[in-house]
Structure 1
Amino acid sequence: MKELPSKYYLTHFHEFLGFISGPCEHLLDAEDKGFIKQFLALPEDAQCLFVRGQNRKSAIIKRTSLDYEEINEHQKHLDVLINEGFYQEVDFEHKQPLLDILTKPELALLLNFAGLKAKSSDAKASVLEAVETHCDKSHFQQFFSEKIYVCRGFDHHIRYFLFLFFGNLGSGLNKFSMRDMGIMPTKRNVTMNVARFDFIDEAKSAYYYASKRREVNTLNTEQQLALANNHEQFPAPKGTLANSHCDRFLLKLGKNLLNVDLPCALAVLAKSNEPLAQEKVLRERYKLGDKQWVQEQLESIIDNPDSEVILAFAEDFLARKYQQKRTSELTDMLRAQTPILIDEMYMDSVEHGVKLHYQKLAKQAFRTENRLWRALFGLVFWHELFEIDNTALITEFDYSPQSLSQNTFYQMHEQAIETRLYRMTSSQLVFKQVSKVMLEKYGTPNGIFRWNKSLLEVLAVFFDHVRLDAFKQQMRLMAQDFSTFSDGYPDLMVVDKKGLRFEEIKGPGDQLRKNQLITIKAMRKAGFDVAITPVEWFLDPNQPYAVVDIETTGGRANNHRITEIGIAKVIGNQVVDTWQSLINPQRHIPRNITQLTGIDNEMVADAPLFVEIADTLRTYLADCVFVAHNVNFDYGFIRAEYERLEQNFRMPKLCTVREMRKAVPGLPSYSLANLTHHFGIDMTRHHRALSDAEAAAELLFIINDYRHQEAQKKAHLKI
Structure 2
Amino acid sequence: MKELPSKYYLTHFHEFLAFVSGPCAHLLSIEDSAFIGKFHTLCEDAQCLYVRGLNRKSPIIRRNSLFYDEINDHQLHLERLITEGFYTEVKKEHLAELTHNLTKPELAQVLRNANVSFKSSQSKADYLQLVNEFCQFEDFCAFLDPTVVLHRGQDQHINYFLFLFFGDLNSNLSKFSMRDLGIMPTQRGVSTDNARFDFIDEAKSAFFYAHQRREVMSLLPEQQIALAQQFPSFPTPQGTLANEHCDRFLLRLGKAILPHDQSLGIKLLAASSEPLAQEKVIREKYKLGEKEWVKNRLEMIIEEPDSEVLLSFAEDFLARKFQQKRTSTLTDMLREQSTTVLIDEMYMDSVEHGVKLFYQKQKKQAFRTENRLWRALFGLVFWHELFEMDSNALVTEFDYKPQAINQNNFYNLYEQDIETRLYRMTSAQITFKQVSKVMLEKYGRPNGIFRWHKSLLEVLAVFFDHVDNEGLKEHLRMMAKDFKNYADGYPDIMVVDNTGLRFEEIKAPGDQLRKNQLLTIKLLRKSGFKVAVTQVEWFLDPLQPYAVVDIETTGGRANQHRITEIGIAKVVNGKVIDTWQTLINPQRHIPQKITQLTGIDDEMVSDAPLFVEIAESLRSYLSDCVFVAHNVNFDYGFIRAEFERLEQSFRMPKLCTVREMRKAIPGLPSYSLANLTRHFGIDMTRHHRALSDAQAAAELLFIINEVRHEKANGSRLRG
TM-score after normalising by structure 1: 0.97
Gap regions ≥5 residues in structure 1:
none
Matches within 5 A, 1:167-566: 167-336=167-336, 337-566=338-567
| Whole-angstrom distance in 2 between the partners of 1:354 and 1:678 | 37
Q: What is the CA deviation profile of residues 557-596 of structure 1, one whole-angstrom value per residue up to 9, with x for unaligned ones?
A: 1111111111111111211111111111111111111111
Q: What is the CA deviation profile of residues 184-205 of structure 1, one whole-angstrom value per residue up to 9, with x for unaligned ones?
A: 1111211111110111111111
SS in 2 for 1:667: coil
| Whole-angstrom distance in 2 between the partners of 1:118 and 1:254 | 36
Change (3 A) 1:494 1:17: same
What is the CA-CA distance between 1:138 and the residue it aligns to? Answer: 3.8
Q: What is the CA deviation profile of residues 434-466 of structure 1, one whole-angstrom value per residue up to 9, with x for unaligned ones?
A: 111110111111111111111111111111111
- Contact 1:91/1:141, CA 8 A, preserved across alignment: no
2:571 counterpart letter in structure 1: V
Matched residue count? 718
- Contact 2:213/2:246, CA 8 A, preserved across alignment: yes
What is the CA-CA distance between 1:142 and the residue it aligns to? Answer: 5.6
SS in 2 for 1:546: strand
SS in 2 for 1:260: coil
2:547 counterpart letter in structure 1: A
SS in 1 for 2:242: helix
Q: What is the CA deviation profile of residues 351-399 of structure 1, one whole-angstrom value per residue up to 9, with x for unaligned ones?
A: 1111111111111111111101111111111111111100000011101
- Contact 2:114/2:134, CA 8 A, preserved across alignment: yes
| Whole-angstrom distance in 1 between the partners of 2:296 and 2:455 | 50
Change (3 A) 1:244 1:115: closer
1:525 counterpart letter in structure 2: K
TM-score after normalising by structure 2: 0.97
1:24 is the counterpart of 2:8: no
SS in 2 for 1:267: helix
1:154 is the counterpart of 2:154: yes
Change (3 A) 1:672 1:262: same
Residue aligning to 1:93: 93
SS in 2 for 1:370: helix
Q: What is the CA deviation profile of residues 480-527 of structure 1, one whole-angstrom value per residue up to 9, with x for unaligned ones?
A: 111111111111111111111111111111111111111111111111
Change (3 A) 1:202 1:136: closer
| Whole-angstrom distance in 2 between the partners of 1:689 and 1:474 | 52
| Whole-angstrom distance in 2 between the partners of 1:358 and 1:126 | 55
User: Which deviates the most, 93-102 or 374-383?
Assistant: 93-102
| Whole-angstrom distance in 2 between the partners of 1:17 and 1:612 | 53
User: Which deviates the most, 158-167 or 37-46?
Assistant: 37-46
| Whole-angstrom distance in 1 between the partners of 2:335 and 2:119 | 64
- Contact 1:92/1:140, CA 8 A, preserved across alignment: no
Change (3 A) 1:675 1:331: same
What is the CA-CA distance between 1:132 and the residue it aligns to? Answer: 5.6
Gap regions ≥5 residues in structure 2:
none
1:516 counterpart letter in structure 2: Q
SS in 2 for 1:560: coil
Residue aligning to 2:664: 663
| Whole-angstrom distance in 2 between the partners of 1:329 and 1:301 | 17
- Contact 1:309/1:518, CA 8 A, preserved across alignment: yes
| Whole-angstrom distance in 2 between the partners of 1:78 and 1:479 | 53
User: Which deviates the most, 641-650 or 160-169?
Assistant: 641-650
Change (3 A) 1:362 1:275: same
RMSD after superposition:
1.8
Change (3 A) 1:566 1:141: closer
Change (3 A) 1:198 1:624: same
Residue aligning to 1:34: 34
1:616 counterpart letter in structure 2: S
1:680 is the counterpart of 2:681: yes
1:81 is the counterpart of 2:81: yes
Q: What is the CA deviation profile of residues 304-341 of structure 1, one whole-angstrom value per residue up to 9, with x for unaligned ones?
A: 11111111111111111111111111111112223111
SS in 2 for 1:338: strand
| Whole-angstrom distance in 1 between the partners of 2:555 and 2:133 | 56
| Whole-angstrom distance in 2 between the partners of 1:662 and 1:180 | 49
| Whole-angstrom distance in 1 between the partners of 2:395 and 2:348 | 44
Change (3 A) 1:103 1:304: same
Residue aligning to 2:599: 598
| Whole-angstrom distance in 2 between the partners of 1:242 and 1:14 | 28
- Contact 1:113/1:143, CA 8 A, preserved across alignment: no
1:581 is the counterpart of 2:545: no
SS in 2 for 1:453: coil
Residue aligning to 2:645: 644
| Whole-angstrom distance in 1 between the partners of 2:311 and 2:593 | 68
| Whole-angstrom distance in 2 between the partners of 1:52 and 1:205 | 29
- Contact 2:9/2:51, CA 8 A, preserved across alignment: yes
User: Which deviates the most, 91-100 or 557-566?
Assistant: 91-100
SS in 2 for 1:420: helix
What is the CA-CA distance between 1:252 and the residue it aligns to? Answer: 0.6
Change (3 A) 1:198 1:625: same
What is the CA-CA distance between 1:108 and the residue it aligns to? Answer: 5.5
What is the CA-CA distance between 1:606 and the residue it aligns to? Answer: 0.6
| Whole-angstrom distance in 2 between the partners of 1:473 and 1:586 | 55
SS in 2 for 1:230: helix
| Whole-angstrom distance in 2 between the partners of 1:102 and 1:665 | 47
| Whole-angstrom distance in 2 between the partners of 1:175 and 1:406 | 23
| Whole-angstrom distance in 1 between the partners of 2:450 and 2:396 | 19
SS in 1 for 2:339: coil
Change (3 A) 1:416 1:572: same
- Contact 1:562/1:585, CA 8 A, preserved across alignment: yes
What is the CA-CA distance between 1:680 and the residue it aligns to? Answer: 1.6
What is the CA-CA distance between 1:703 and the residue it aligns to? Answer: 1.3
- Contact 2:60/2:150, CA 8 A, preserved across alignment: yes
- Contact 1:108/1:117, CA 8 A, preserved across alignment: no
| Whole-angstrom distance in 1 between the partners of 2:283 and 2:134 | 46
| Whole-angstrom distance in 2 between the partners of 1:223 and 1:81 | 34
Residue aligning to 1:5: 5
- Contact 2:339/2:533, CA 8 A, preserved across alignment: no
What is the CA-CA distance between 1:135 and the residue it aligns to? Answer: 5.2
1:699 is the counterpart of 2:704: no
SS in 2 for 1:238: coil
User: Which deviates the most, 447-456 or 124-133?
Assistant: 124-133
Change (3 A) 1:546 1:131: closer
User: Which deviates the most, 128-137 or 268-277?
Assistant: 128-137
1:257 counterpart letter in structure 2: I
What is the CA-CA distance between 1:103 and the residue it aligns to? Answer: 2.9
Q: What is the CA deviation profile of residues 257-298 of structure 1, one whole-angstrom value per residue up to 9, with x for unaligned ones?
A: 121111111111111111111111111111111111111111
What is the CA-CA distance between 1:131 and the residue it aligns to? Answer: 5.6
SS in 2 for 1:627: strand
| Whole-angstrom distance in 2 between the partners of 1:531 and 1:124 | 51
2:55 counterpart letter in structure 1: N
2:25 counterpart letter in structure 1: E
Identity %: 71
| Whole-angstrom distance in 2 between the partners of 1:116 and 1:483 | 51
| Whole-angstrom distance in 2 between the partners of 1:443 and 1:652 | 28
What is the CA-CA distance between 1:110 and the residue it aligns to? Answer: 4.7
1:317 counterpart letter in structure 2: F
